[in-house]
Homo-oligomer: A and B are copies of this chain.
Amino acid sequence: MSGIWGNNLEISIFGESHGRAIGVTLSGLPAGVKIDMDEVLVEMARRAPGQNELTTPRKEKDEPDIVSGVLDGMTTGAPLTALIWNTNTRSVDYSQMKKLMRPGQADYPGKVRYDGFNDYRGSGHFSGRITAPLVFAGAIAQQWLRQKGIVIGSHIQSIGSVEDERFESQGAVTAEQVEQLKSVQLPVFDESKRDAMTQVILDAKADLDSVGGIVETFVLGIDAGYGNPFFDSVESTLAHLVFAVPATKGIEFGAGFDITRMRGSEANDSYYYDENGQIKTRTNNNGGILGGITYGMPIVFRTAIKPPASIEKKQETIDIEARENADLEVFGRHDPCIVPRVLPVLEAVTALGLMDLILGRDKA
């Protein structure tokens, strides 16, 4: 099992990169949620490849085809299923992929896991393309959350060694700023870093190589009291979903790994009543979550995204049919950096995780 997640809002994903379609079913969506399809398409376009020189050339329109669960633009309460048809599945020669295990990809573990029956064409079900249905689902969740005043945003924290400023240093970030971040290709707080980041990507591409980076995601307007101790903590929920996003190798909340070098007196975020009588903390080293539960400050986390494994540079690997070492050169699917396209995916899974927790909380 692997394709289904959720306690209160259940998400079931399916599809292969070069199969007929990919898609998602959402079960447990409340009835009467109005779906703004234009916004959904904007989110999906942010993730879609092939749009510029910084990404893989595969072009997919990624238009969701809703086949159930919506009537007159509103959710019916029944399972909502949307498909995205695969159109760009040109018939290349995949015979190499059956025997040459691409390093850094799921080819080899997938082959073992599924006794050789896995769809090996273009990573099959392991493809990052399966994140498109997640973005679709997350777009709906974000519309539901926004009605509760909750807004999710993100920026590129780093590409390679080029670093943006942190959310923590920005003071109050507004919903308008979040919109602004969503509208650009390399969203950063410190715009002076954009050119350097672009250059890092182009340099890697010129070398037939790729680069990774860090994404910082944040949630504004979330009240105290969502989440649970232990297994259904906010961190457990979000980390579970974030590690479901291919290429993720690390996640940290609030001050994250840096908190290990603080003392308790510094790490503990002091509470105070602000001028409106609202409970706030002076710092937010705990990233909005204590005991697995929100405390009313923004949720903040950073995700480490590895460089794409799909490079054109020659690599060493094994030929699993001949059972011998071999060289590998793959052409045509080179992806120099997925970090900008991962932002909407991380926002999407954050929305899905929070919606699940909030639906669970509302019931008590």
Contacts and interface: CB of A to CB of B under 8 A. Distances in A.
Interface stretch (A52-60, A168-176, A234-242): A234-242
A281 B19 CA distance: 30
Contacts of A261: 158, 160-161, 212
Contacts of A262: 212, 306-307
A332 interface: no
A25 B27 CA distance: 12
Interface stretch (A145-153, A183-191, A269-277): A269-277
Interface in A79-137: 79-81, 83, 101, 103-106, 108-110, 112-119, 123-126, 130
A74 B114 CA distance: 11
Given A230-B130, A261-B212, A323 B225 contact: no
Given A1-B8, A68-B22, A359-B363, A263 B307 contact: yes
Given A106-B292, A251-B251, 6 more contacts: A15-B79, A71-B117, A267-B307, A268-B311, A271-B316, A273-B324
Interface residues of A, number: 154
B291 A246 contact: yes
Contact of A304 (B113, B257, B279): B257
6 contacts: A21-B81, A106-B229, A108-B224, A231-B240, A250-B252, A270-B317
Interface string A1-42: 111110111111111100111110101101110000000000
B68 A15 contact: yes
A316 B117 contact: no
A270 to B, nearest CB: 4
- Per DSSP, chain A at the interface is mixed
B1 A27 contact: yes
A56 B233 CA distance: 25
A71 to B, nearest CB: 5
Contact of A119 (B71, B236, B264, B295): B71
A142 interface: no
A82 to B, nearest CB: 10
A128 B126 CA distance: 35
A29 to B, nearest CB: 9
A299 to B, nearest CB: 12
A277 to B, nearest CB: 7
B264 A259 contact: no
B103 A271 contact: yes
B286 A249 contact: yes
Given A4-B10, A252-B249, A291 B110 contact: yes
A75 B125 CA distance: 12
Contacts of A295: 108-109, 112
A209 B272 CA distance: 21
B306 A110 contact: no
A67 B66 CA distance: 15
Contacts of A74: 117
A256 interface: yes
A287 B119 contact: no
A154 interface: no
B2 A27 contact: yes
B2 A125 contact: no
A227 interface: yes
B264 A210 contact: yes
Contacts of A78: 3, 14, 16, 114, 118-119, 124-125, 229
